[in-house]
A = this chain, B = another copy of it.
Amino acid sequence: MRDNIILLAHGAGGLKSADLLREVFLPHFANDVLCQMADAAVLEGGVGRLAFTTDSFVIDPLIFPGGDIGKLAVCGTINDLACAGAMPLALSAAFILEEGLEIATLSKLVASMGETARAAGVRIVAGDTKVVPRGSADRLFITTSGIGLLPEHRPLPAPHRAQPGDAVLLSGTLADHGMAVMTSREGLQFTSQIRSDCAPLAGLVAGLLDAVPDVHCLRDPTRGGLAAVLNELAAASSVCIEVEEERIPVHADVRVACELLGIDPLHVANEGKMVAIVPADAADAALAAFHSHPAGQDAAIIGTVQPTPAARVHLRTPLGSLRILDVPAGDLLPRIC
């Protein structure tokens, strides 16, 4: 590129827009569908039911221990498709760039997106770039959307399908992403660096669904953390979800950071974890499936579904008492994803 920073002209649809596409985006995203550069990508293949999802990513800082906004944008959309029980088919990526953004930074983030998508076996087939004047955005926002293929003859996981007696599983440790971002933003030093768990989970979920075809609920505990997800599932299914605090895995460093900052790890965002609710007799098979995948090494059965009180989440403390686990009401941490 002749330019080192993003100019308004890079968003104007003319020659500089074409330069940006050809020199920054296509080298990392190149595939036969995207390279046709049509207004819409054309996807071939006999397709039945589809899953469709979108998310904007506005995280600050752009690069954090364990990941960056590009990796996060790809993982987040893959994971939303996985939550629907879908195999990711294709992603799109739309960029809002602030005039003055270093092209080197953009290239690094685009490369990270390409690498993450390739590793997960998913193509980025459509995209868009807009540039806004200095001060009208903070450097870079990315919106990814995704299409996934759903199996034809299998019940799908859905928020309303939790049933009394079901087991509640968590695929690994809580709060790594949120605390990695918070400690890196605040410049806090711990004995070892806390790293985001940001990871694509389509493979983990495919393994789970092979072992347990009738998973009742699947959800990734992002914004609002485990507390928000469990409350959503309890409300959608009109059940009580009871989890045991001692069984919820949290890295020692993350626990210390949460205690120092007065934050409940159950309220913190994760970007590489899955919550699964399965029939009781499938709980061991589900746990084994999680454990057999690199992203599920720390998986645990953390609780059960009870019939009442409906739309409530109970946390059993190490002392045996029950407390209500609420959704975080205010804003824990802006721009966490």
Contacts and interface: CB of A to CB of B under 8 A. Distances in A.
Contacts of A332: 12
Contacts of A327: 14-15, 18
A41 B36 contact: no
Contacts of A14: 224, 228, 327-331
B50 A148 contact: no
A3 to B, nearest CB: 12
Given A8-B334, A15-B327, A39-B80, 4 more contacts: A8-B331, A42-B84, A54-B94, A54-B143
Contact of A43 (B17, B49, B138, B232): B49
A269 B13 CA distance: 10
Q: Which 5 A-B pairs have the closest CB atoms?
A: A13-B223, A13-B224, A40-B53, A145-B145, A143-B143
Nearest to A156: B42
Interface stretch (A124-132, A252-260, A282-290, A301-309): A124-132
Contact of A48 (B46, B132, B133): B46
Contact of A138 (B84, B137, B147, B328): B137
Contacts of A48: 46-47
Contact of A52 (B46, B125, B223): B125
Interface residues of A, number: 90
Interface string A300-337: 00000000000000000000000000011111111101
A201 to B, nearest CB: 11
Given A133-B335, A136-B138, A222-B13, A51 B42 contact: yes
Contacts of A145: 52, 54, 92, 94, 126, 143, 145
Number of copies: 2
A198 interface: no
A91 to B, nearest CB: 9
A278 interface: no
A129 B143 CA distance: 11
A150 interface: yes
Interface in A22-60: 36-58, 60
Contacts of A42: 49-51, 84, 150, 156
Contacts of A50: 42-43, 47, 50, 147
